[in-house]
Amino acid sequence: MGNRYFEVLKRASSFLDDQGVEGQSILFVFLARKQWSKTDWLIHLNDEMTKVEQQQLDADLALLAKHYPAQYILGYADFYEQRFLVNEHTLIPRPETEELVELCLSENSDEPLTVADIGTGTGAIAISLKKNRPNWHVLAVDISAETLKVAEENAERLNAAIDFYQGDLLAPLNETKVDLLISNPPYISNDEWQLMDESVRTFEPKAALFAEHDGLAIYQRLAQEATQVLAPKGKIYLEIGFQQGAAVKKLFQQAFPKYIVRVLKDLSGNDRMVAVTPNEKMG
């Protein structure tokens, strides 16, 4: 006895908790590998675990114990009802970023627009927008060639026609006028390093996470560069750190004095997004 699924998983979960790792992460990986729903899990709780399954579980457990992210173990993460390939060259898409996508979609119709996703990572934002707004012409930029490979593969797998560009922020767009500019840039300050989960600090790409000037460096550059590429009635949507609302609002209000700059909260009640939109009253 002792080799039934629920007993093995319970022991594995307790082991991870003792290592300072979220115990439930082993169940998450196990169910994903089995392609089981929670209902399947309840049906099979008392089944015996095979030797091959035990070996796979032990291997996954060893990685999780080193704070290796579950999504990297599986090679994918789910985002906005699609499955995206991820690896150590890409940030793992977060639920908060789904809210940025939702905001952008809720405020813009399917009329033909040119949309640029800056710092695309896995391509999660760009691809989600394209899947929901087929008439949009979506451009995606990332500074990392390795990251773009993953984004391009995701676009191909999910059948989303995106134009990818390698380069720094808005530079690759040249003379293109953009109707919607959207970005989840690096925004964590070096001071916040110790607050980050160890799995993030150790394994996720630092260039996609951290920025100078208290995490504001990329916003400072985006605000200036956006004045050159934004179409006359264009809009900007940004993800921000929960303490950056006032600072990012100020940067974009200075760059776009005639626009309305809003700071919006995520579902947890934290400042999470900034929207820069034309003031219709000013014409």
The mean pLDDT value for 231-256 works out to 94
Q: Which residues are annotated as a binding site for substrate?
A: 184-187
C-beta atoms surrounding 196 within 10 Å: 14
Give the position of tokens 């995490």.
Answer: 215
- According to the model, what pLDDT value does residue 206 have? 72
Q: Which residues are annotated as a binding site?
A: 119-123, 142, 184-187
273 has which bridge partners? Answer: 239, 264
CA 223 to chain CA mean position, Å: 21
Structural domain boundaries of the chain? 5-66, 89-282
> Are 282 and 232 spatial neighbours (Cβ–Cβ below 8 Å)?
no
Q: In this predicted model, what pLDDT tens digit does every residue of 24-79 receive, in sequence order?
A: 999 999 999 999 999 999 999 999 999 999 999 999 999 999 999 999 999 999 99
With 0-12 / 13-18 / 19 or more C-beta atoms within 10 angstroms meaning exposed / middle / buried, residue 121 is buried
pTM > 0.75: yes or no: yes
C-beta atoms surrounding 222 within 10 Å: 23
> What CA–CA distance (Å, rounded) separates 146 from 148?
5
With 0-12 / 13-18 / 19 or more C-beta atoms within 10 angstroms meaning exposed / middle / buried, residue 42 is exposed
Q: What percent of the chain has pLDDT over 90?
A: 83
User: What's the whole-number average pLDDT of the chain?
Assistant: 92
Give the position of tokens 């922020």.
Answer: 169
CB burial readout 238-277, b (16+ within 10 A) else e: bbbbeebbebbbebbbebbeebebebeebeeeebbbbbbb
State yes or no: pLDDT of 212 exceeds 80.
no
- The pLDDT confidence band at residue 282, using thresholds 50, 70 and 90, is low
Selected from 3.40.50.150, 3.80.30.20, 3.30.200.20, 3.40.50.1110, the CATH number assigned to the domain covering 89-282 reads 3.40.50.150
276 has which bridge partners? Answer: 236, 261
State yes or no: pLDDT of 214 exceeds 70.
no
Comparing CA positions, the residue from 208, 178, 189 lying closest to residue 104 is 178
Which phi and psi (to 5°) does residue 221 adopt? -70, -40
3-class DSSP assignment, residue 248 = helix
- According to the model, what pLDDT value does residue 216 have? 83
- According to the model, what pLDDT value does residue 217 have? 85
Indicate the residue type of 21.
V
- The pLDDT confidence band at residue 279, using thresholds 50, 70 and 90, is confident
Q: In this predicted model, what pLDDT tens digit does every residue of 104-157 receive, in sequence order?
A: 999 999 999 999 999 999 999 999 999 999 999 999 999 999 999 999 999 999
The mean pLDDT value for 242-251 works out to 93
- According to the model, what pLDDT value does residue 280 have? 76
- According to the model, what pLDDT value does residue 211 have? 61
Q: Which residues are annotated as a binding site for S-adenosyl-L-methionine?
A: 119-123, 142, 184
Q: In this predicted model, what pLDDT tens digit does every residue of 79-108 receive, in sequence order?
A: 999 999 999 989 899 999 999 999 999 999
> What CA–CA distance (Å, rounded) separates 59 from 73?
10
